Every structure is written in structure tokens, then in C-alpha cells.
Amino acid sequence: MSDSLAEKPRVRVPAYDVNETSETPKPAKAEAFSFGEPTPVIDGYDFFYTGCWMLGNEWYEPPVDFPALSQTYRATAHHGSAIQVKRNILVRSFIPHPLLSRQAFSALATDYLVFGNCYLEKIYGRLNRLLALKPARAKYVRRGADLNRYFWVPNWSERSEFDEGSIIHLLEPDINQEVYGVPDYLGALQSIYLNENATLFRRKYYLNGSHAGFVMYVSDTAQNQEDIDAMRAALKESKGVGNFRNLFLYSPNGKKDGIQIIPISEVAAKDDFAAIKNITRDDQLAGHRIPPQLMGIIPNNTGGFGDVEKAAKVFVTNELEPVQAVFSEINDLLGEEVIRFKEYSLDPQ
């Protein structure tokens, strides 16, 4: 038998309907979504003057949140530094006494400048002789309902009452109540928080690689809804650690500009970081009424801020001598001159 007449192998071909066509992919729907959740740059406090309210018929709570004030103390360089300058000048001019050391007075002055209140506990010996004056942290001291008793309340589950007549209370007068004092920088708190928020936002921006995100624009008709869902899932999974990983995308029959990445740029130029920092800095200095020369601030003009020695003397005369007079009230209450100050001088001591 010749090769041409050789029997060819038979192949079974499955039957199909000539009218049957492949399923047409569903057209993709227009869709917009964000990549990742917004992250707050600070867990801050909103300050409201709530007034004094009584807790358990025993003591009054302060009109402002003292724990929040303690956190605000180091919120910005200018706010904390302004308080520290006042404290350091007061401590430098303070004359130590056997009943009150320089370190104890430093703690007393810090409490008064931060919280507008300070407390001294009189420590007596067995023979009822005054042995020492110990500062009680203003953050945890509460004033009793009769305004003569004082309580130590470090947390919600602990409380103890000071001995009657053992507490000396100095306060910055408030126009709304006479139970507690309030610091006189409360009007600058919003600027303090704005300054801190601007710094933390800029830190977040740099920690993110100076990358503010992008818009992924898909206009290619070759993409169906399943492809869009898969692409969205891949992008969402890329956030967090390693969020700058490469992404492979295969788009058959796709067009050149069917998928575009549009970066959100120029954020650093639009957030007015320098202007916000400068304006809020000036507000903080005005709230503390302290000359910029004493804060180590570099002037922007060629003329500078003027004579720093004259500014320091005016500042001490107008701002710190009244505070020294407040502390001198302790002498009247004790009947003994415990609080004494040297005359302010810039000469080395």
C-alpha cells in the first residue's frame, strides 16, 4: 500500500455551536477611592474652661485639665523654653534657706508657672517644730469643698488628705473663680498646638519619604471590573512597611495612556510651614511676654532685636519681680523670712 493511500489517524473534534460566542467582559465602572486610612499626627487635647466642679462632695476639680497642661509644657520649643527662662532667673536670684532648698524652690516655681498654682507642705517634727517645706506637685493636689482642706489625688483610685493647716497655696488669680489659679498663657494655647501640629505633619511627610501619594487614573476600555478589583486589592496590600514596592501590571491590548500615575506634588510648598512656625512662635512669645533675645531666636532683619542686656533688665523688672512678690507671701504666712531674692544682675556670681 502506498504512502498516499495510508490511513490517516482520526481525531475527534468536540462539537460546538457556531452561534455561541465568548462571554463579553463587563465594562468597568467609574470609581474613586483612597489608598490607606488617614493617620492623625497628634493625639491632642481640646482646651475648654469648664469651671470648678465638686467631686464626691470632698474637693473641687480644677477649671482646666492639669494633665493636659503638663503635656503642653514640652509641646513646642518656644513654650517650654519661655517657662524655663523665667524659672532659671528666679532660681538664680533665690537665696536658699534651711527650710527650703534651691531645688525645692525650683520645683515650686515650675508648678506656679505651668499650672498657675503651687503648694508647700509644712513638715513638722515630734515636738511640733517646723523641719522643712516640701513642694506638693500641683498636678495632683485638689482643694477641699470648704477651701481649707487639701487632698493628694495622684489617680482615680488613690486619695489622701493633708494634715489640716499644713498646706500653703499660692495661685495666679482667675476672673471666674477663686478656688484655683490658672496660668496666664492660656490665650496662646491654640498657637502652641498649631505650631506642634505643623512640626509633626512635616515629620510625617519626611518619614514617608517626602511622598504625598498619587492618583491612579485608569481610562483603558480593555480593563474589566475584575481587573480593577484586583488592582485595587494589590495597591491596598502595599501600604504600611514596604509601601514603595514595585507593582507588576499586565494589560493586553491596552493603550499607552490607558493607565496613568498622577503624583500629588508640591505639598511642601503649599503647607506654609515656615509662615505657620513664625506666626505661632510670635504668639507664644506674646503669651509669655518674653523678649526674643532671651529665647535664642535669630533675627530676620539686619538690625537685630536690640540690646539684650536692657531687654533682660526690663523683663525681670516688669515680669519676674511681681512673681517674686507672690512667693514672698510665704513669709507672711510663716512669720519667718524663708523666701529671699538677690538683686538681679548679669555679672558673674
Nearest to 96 by CA among 84, 105, 108: 105
| Residue 75 confidence (pLDDT) above 70 | yes
Higher-confidence position of 250 and 122: 122
Q: What is the pLDDT of residues 246-298, one digit of tens each?
A: 666 666 767 777 777 766 555 555 668 889 999 999 999 999 999 988 888 87
What is the rounded radius of gyration, in angstroms, for the C-alpha atoms of the chain?
35
Q: Length of the chain in residues, anyone?
A: 349
pLDDT confidence of residue 43: 45
User: In three state form, how does the secondary structure of 1-46 look?
Assistant: CCCCCCCCCCCCCCCCCCCCCCCCCCECCCCCCCCCCCCCCCCCCC
Tell me if the pTM is above 0.95.
no
Q: How far apart are the first and last CA of the chain?
A: 128
Cα dihedral sign, 251-252-258-260: positive
* Contact by Cβ (8 Å): 87, 113: yes
How confident is residue 120, by pLDDT bands cut at 50, 70 and 90?
Answer: very high
d(CA 129, CA 78): 43
All cell numbers assigned to 208: 514617608
Q: Which amino acid is at 236?
A: K
Q: What residues are paired with 161 via a beta bridge? A: 151
CA 178/CA 171 separation, integer angstroms: 9
Span 221-234, average pLDDT: 73
Out of 25-29, 90-94, 272-276, the most confident range is 90-94
Per-residue model confidence (pLDDT) at position 141? 96
Residue 31: name the closest of 265, 213, 232, 251 by CA. 232
